[in-house]
Chain A
């Protein structure tokens, strides 16, 4: 049976060139980077090299990159670290409703510690209006965090505009770029953010490696206490193979960015034909300003999980909502925040394409998916519609 992997926002396969770069640090070059002898200095060199490669991916200085174990850790570090470092100036933070759980749950943690958090609304495409950011700012605001792009609906946010507002008010601005770093160009100076989170496995690097860009001169309270790794900002013996792999993956992403984007866009546009091959299938997220290989839909009258199961039986691997929401079997808060009714949000399905997907993969999906929808609607209690308004049935889509 054909296997088609369309879940690149969940994770990417490891590039074999990245694995080659990592292997020596699993085997003969196993030293601790803090050790004074040659084994240690070889490991340290690998980390220094990777730091430069990751910095090149976003146009920062190498010294501004702090390696973490994941994008989620980078997000936790940014939110808690800045809120705590600046708590004497104020205890108010702003985040959007589009954020990943690692931001939303960090924000909830801050609330339990006595901070006040404003959750910004989004429009029907999932876009944060910079004006709402401006209106949410109060004297006590010390931190704003808005995702660069939603992995769930693919919408790219107006980060440059929001960063400018934060800068004018001398508020620290963080963006979660886990879905974008390595996938679309990022120039940290042009974006104007103070902190930015990345994850290696989102651009063909290994799991277990992430990074937080911290603008030079910014104070941040550590998340993990211990030794002097990462310039005294993140303790723990470094995962040298993973960091070396992240560096190599960043280098490859820089070199191959344009061709990957072009490839992703072309296949994505082809995949969007799904909308015309079955009725009542709605694109979610922004129609144009979205991640290159990202196609997300809400399919009326059926559930996302059921679609995933039937597609999986045909060798097609996709997602429904974020990886975490999918496990929780509940309507995605991101879709609900975009004004999508909960019934329709249950029918969420997300296809995210990568550099190794082919035209044949898309043809296969276009042939199989309408059959899956048809089959599920035949057995769905809502197969012929949402039922009578007022009896839990009415459901409208914002056009």
Chain B
């Protein structure tokens, strides 16, 4: 797992305590709203996201930048893929 520090996100979404698979639904919804190359931060306490989010990024071509752990939850950082002109 990649750990990151001091990464500045363009958009943050807090889904702590929301049930699985909200982490994937929100991820999809928020990435759609971002501009190419922008960074999304997702806060979740769901352990399964440690596998699901990197896996989703690989499948969709978005860049998984890493996570940051806090006492109660994780922060995931994802950069939206830049589409070819």
**A231 and B17 contact, CB distance less than 8 A:** no
Query: Number of residues in A with C-beta < 8 Å to the partner?
Result: 16
B71: interface (CB < 8 Å): yes
**Segment among A135-143, A193-201, A215-223, A259-267 that sits at the interface with chain B:** A215-223
For B26, the closest partner residue in chain A by CB is A232
Chain B nearest Cβ from A202, distance in angstroms: 28
User: Which of B14, B19, B25 sits near A219, CB closer than 8 Å?
Assistant: B14
A221 with B17, Cβ < 8 A, contacts A88-B71, A88-B72 known: yes
B57: interface (CB < 8 Å): no
**B19 and A225 contact, CB distance less than 8 A:** yes
Residues of A within 8 A of B72 (CB): 88
Chain A nearest Cβ from B41, distance in angstroms: 14
Q: How far is the CA of A88 from the CA of B17 in the complex (A)?
A: 14
Residues of A within 8 A of B25 (CB): 228, 232
User: Which of A81, A228, A231 sits near B21, CB closer than 8 Å?
Assistant: A228
**B17 and A220 contact, CB distance less than 8 A:** yes
B15: interface (CB < 8 Å): yes
A387: interface (CB < 8 Å): no
Chain B stretch 1-54: residues in CB contact (< 8 A) with chain A: 14-22, 25
Q: How far is the CA of A353 from the CA of B3 in the complex (A)?
A: 62
Residues of A within 8 A of B18 (CB): 222, 231-233
Residues of B within 8 A of A233 (CB): 17-19
Q: Give the A-B pair count, Cβ closer than 8 A.
A: 34
A227: interface (CB < 8 Å): yes
Q: How far is the CA of A231 from the CA of B19 in the complex (A)?
A: 8
A367: interface (CB < 8 Å): no
For B25, the closest partner residue in chain A by CB is A228
User: Which of A217, A219, A228, A235 sits near B17, CB closer than 8 Å?
Assistant: A219
Residues of A within 8 A of B15 (CB): 232
Residues of B within 8 A of A222 (CB): 17-19
Q: How far is the CA of A88 from the CA of B19 in the complex (A)?
A: 20
Counting contact residues on chain B (CB < 8 A from A), the size range is 10 to 19
Residues of A within 8 A of B16 (CB): 85, 219
**B22 and A231 contact, CB distance less than 8 A:** yes
Q: How far is the CA of A228 from the CA of B19 in the complex (A)?
A: 6
A287: interface (CB < 8 Å): no
User: Which of B14, B17, B19 sits near A227, CB closer than 8 Å?
Assistant: B19
Chain B nearest Cβ from A273, distance in angstroms: 52
For B73, the closest partner residue in chain A by CB is A219
For A81, A85, A221, A232, the residue with the greatest tally of chain B CB atoms inside 10 Å of its CB is A232
Chain A nearest Cβ from B79, distance in angstroms: 24
Residues of A within 8 A of B17 (CB): 81, 85, 219-222, 233
Residues of B within 8 A of A227 (CB): 19
**B19 and A235 contact, CB distance less than 8 A:** yes
For B72, the closest partner residue in chain A by CB is A88
**A217 and B14 contact, CB distance less than 8 A:** yes
Chain A nearest Cβ from B42, distance in angstroms: 13
Chain A nearest Cβ from B67, distance in angstroms: 19
Residues of B within 8 A of A217 (CB): 14
**B19 and A232 contact, CB distance less than 8 A:** yes
Q: How far is the CA of A375 from the CA of B22 in the complex (A)?
A: 63
Chain B nearest Cβ from A44, distance in angstroms: 14
Residues of B within 8 A of A385 (CB): none
Chain B nearest Cβ from A262, distance in angstroms: 43
Residues of B within 8 A of A221 (CB): 17
A226: interface (CB < 8 Å): yes
Q: How far is the CA of A322 from the CA of B76 in the complex (A)?
A: 49
Q: How far is the CA of A88 from the CA of B18 in the complex (A)?
A: 18
Residues of B within 8 A of A219 (CB): 14, 16-17
16 A-B contact pairs sorted by A residue (CB < 8 Å):
A81-B17, A85-B17, A88-B72, A217-B14, A219-B16, A219-B17, A220-B17, A221-B17, A222-B17, A227-B19, A228-B20, A228-B22, A231-B18, A232-B20, A232-B25, A233-B18
Chain B residues with a Cβ under 8 A of chain A: 14-22, 25, 71-72
Q: A228-B19, A232-B22, A233-B19 are in contact. List 14 more A-B contacts (CB 8 A).
A: A81-B17, A88-B71, A88-B72, A219-B14, A219-B16, A219-B17, A221-B17, A222-B17, A225-B19, A226-B19, A228-B22, A232-B20, A232-B25, A233-B17
